[in-house]
C-alpha cells in the first residue's frame, strides 16, 4: 500500500496562499509524500512555507497563471515516475480524504480521469449566483464537448499516467479548466465523476474567481482556437 | 497625383512586409495583401469604389471604405491577440523549463520581485 501511495502525486498550484498553504500541504503530506507545490511567483512567502511544510517546491520566476502552474507540476510528477496525479486547490476548499477514492477508481482501471463533483457531493457556503454560473458553465461545456458532467470546473481531478501525458494544458489562466474538459473529450479519455466536498470559506471566496473573469475565459478559449 | 503615388507606395510596402516579414499566422498574410491590392486599385480608380459600394447596397464609396476599415481593424486587433498568445506560450515554456531544472537541482533561481500580472486562485 505504501508503495502505491508514494507513486501518487498531489499537484498544487499556489499564488499568494501563505495563509493556507501550510495547512493544505500538511494535510496532503499525511497521505501522500509526493506533494508538489508550484509557486506561481508569489510575493507573500507561499513558496517558503510550502517547502517548510514538506512540499516539493517548484517556482515560476514570473506569474503565469493556475493552468500553467498545474502543467508544470504535472510534468514534474510524470518525470518523477508518478502513476496517478491529482490536482488539488491551495486555498483549503478541497478535502484530502476525497482523493483516495478517486485514485482507487484509476487503480482499478475503471477510468483514465476522475473528476470531483461538488454537486454530487457537498458545497457548503456556495452562493446562489455562483451555483447558477457553474451550472451555466456545465451546460456550455456539455454543448461544446459532448460530455455530460455535473461539475466541469472543479479543481480536484485525478489522472492516470497515460491521461496526464495526453492532456497538455496550454491555457495559462482561468480557461484551463474548460480546456481540460475539451482535451478529455478530444482524446476520448474515460472519465468518471465522484462526489467531493468543496468548502467555501470567507478566505476562499475572497481569493476565488470573480464573475467578470468568465468573459475573459471565453476570450482566451476563442484566441486559442484562432492560433491553431 | 502625388498623394496617389504616396498611398500606392505605402500599400506596396505593406504587401512586401506581410509577404516576407510576418510569422506563421497565415490568417493575416493573405487578406492583408489582398486588401492592399484592392486599396491600391481604388486609389487610382476612385469612381470604382462608388460602383462597388452600390453593388453591395452601400450608398457611397467612402462609406464602403469606412466600413471596410472598421472590419479590418477588428481583424488586426484579433491577430495581435493571437500573436500575443503565441509569444506567451514561448515564455511559458521557458519559465517551466527553469522551474523544472531548479527542482532537479540543475540550477538556482532568484525570485523576480512582484508579479507582472493578476494571479489566479482556485474556484
pLDDT at A54 over 80: yes
What is the side-by-side strand order in the sheet with A8-14?
A: A56-59, A34-39, A8-14, A84-88, A157-160, A113-122, A191-197
**A156/A88 Cα distance (integer angstroms):** 5
Mutate to test the interface with B, among A10, A56, A62 (most CBs of B within 10 A): A62
A60–B95 C-beta distance less than 8 A = yes
Q: Which of B100, B102, B116 sits opposite A62 (nearest CB)?
A: B116
Is pLDDT above 70 for B93? yes
pLDDT tens by residue, B32-77: 788 888 888 888 888 888 888 888 888 888 888 888 889 888 988 8
Interface of B with A (CB under 8 A): 25, 27, 78, 81-82, 85-86, 88-89, 91-92, 95-96, 98-100, 102-104, 109, 111-123
| Better-scored residue on pLDDT, B112 or B47 | B47
Write down the pLDDT at residue B123.
39
d(CA A14, CA A139): 28
Q: Output the average pLDDT for chain A.
A: 88
pLDDT in tens, A156-179: 999 999 999 999 999 998 889 989
Q: Given B78, B104, B109, which is nearest A226 (Cβ)?
A: B78
* Residue found under cell 498553504: A21
Model confidence at A194, pLDDT cuts 50, 70, 90, reads: very high
**Predicted confidence band of residue A207 (pLDDT cuts 50, 70, 90):** low
Cβ atoms of A159 and A199 closer than 8 Å: no
Alpha-carbon distance A3 to nearest alpha carbon in chain B (angstroms): 22
Residue of A nearest to B102 (CA): A58
Mean pLDDT of A181-187: 94
Contacts of B111 in chain A (CB under 8 A): 41, 59, 61
pLDDT tens digits for A76-85? 999 999 999 9
Amino acid at each position: 500500500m505504501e508503495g502505491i501511495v508514494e507513486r501518487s502525486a498531489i499537484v498544487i498550484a499556489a499564488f499568494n496562499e501563505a495563509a493556507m498553504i501550510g495547512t493544505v500541504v500538511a494535510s496532503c503530506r499525511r497521505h501522500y509524500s509526493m506533494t508538489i507545490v508550484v509557486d506561481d511567483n508569489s510575493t507573500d512567502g507561499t513558496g517558503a512555507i510550502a517547502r517548510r511544510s514538506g512540499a516539493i517546491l517548484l517556482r515560476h520566476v514570473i506569474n503565469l497563471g493556475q493552468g500553467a502552474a498545474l502543467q508544470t507540476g504535472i510534468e514534474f510528477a510524470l518525470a518523477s515516475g508518478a502513476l496517478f496525479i491529482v490536482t488539488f486547490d491551495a486555498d483549503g476548499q478541497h478535502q484530502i480524504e476525497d482523493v483516495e477514492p478517486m485514485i482507487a477508481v484509476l487503480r482499478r482501471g475503471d477510468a483514465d480521469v476522475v473528476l470531483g463533483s461538488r454537486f454530487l457531493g457537498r458545497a457548503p457556503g456556495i452562493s446562489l449566483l455562483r451555483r447558477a454560473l457553474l451550472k451555466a458553465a456545465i451546460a456550455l461545456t456539455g454543448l461544446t464537448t459532448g460530455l455530460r458532467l455535473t461539475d466541469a470546473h472543479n479543481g480536484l481531478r485525478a489522472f492516470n499516467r497515460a491521461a496526464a501525458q495526453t492532456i497538455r494544458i496550454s491555457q495559462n489562466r482561468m480557461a484551463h479548466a474548460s480546456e481540460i474538459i475539451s482535451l478529455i473529450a478530444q482524446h476520448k479519455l474515460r472519465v468518471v465523476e465522484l462526489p467531493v466536498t468543496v468548502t467555501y470559506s470567507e478566505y476562499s471566496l475572497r481569493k476565488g474567481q470573480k464573475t467578470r473573469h468568465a468573459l475573459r475565459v471565453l476570450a482566451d478559449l476563442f484566441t486559442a482556437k484562432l492560433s491553431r | 497625383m502625388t498623394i496617389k503615388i504616396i498611398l500606392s507606395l505605402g500599400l506596396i510596402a505593406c504587401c512586401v512586409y506581410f509577404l516576407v516579414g510576418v510569422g506563421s499566422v497565415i490568417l493575416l498574410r493573405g487578406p492583408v495583401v489582398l486588401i492592399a491590392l484592392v486599396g491600391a486599385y481604388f486609389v487610382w480608380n476612385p469612381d470604382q469604389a462608388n460602383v462597388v459600394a452600390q453593388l453591395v447596397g452601400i450608398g457611397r464609396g467612402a462609406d464602403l471604405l469606412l466600413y471596410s476599415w472598421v472590419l479590418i481593424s477588428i481583424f488586426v486587433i484579433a491577430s495581435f491577440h493571437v500573436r500575443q498568445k503565441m509569444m506567451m506560450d514561448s515564455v511559458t515554456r521557458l519559465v517551466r523549463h527553469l522551474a523544472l531544472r531548479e527542482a532537479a537541482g540543475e540550477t538556482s533561481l532568484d525570485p523576480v520581485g512582484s508579479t507582472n500580472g493578476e494571479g489566479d486562485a482556485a474556484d
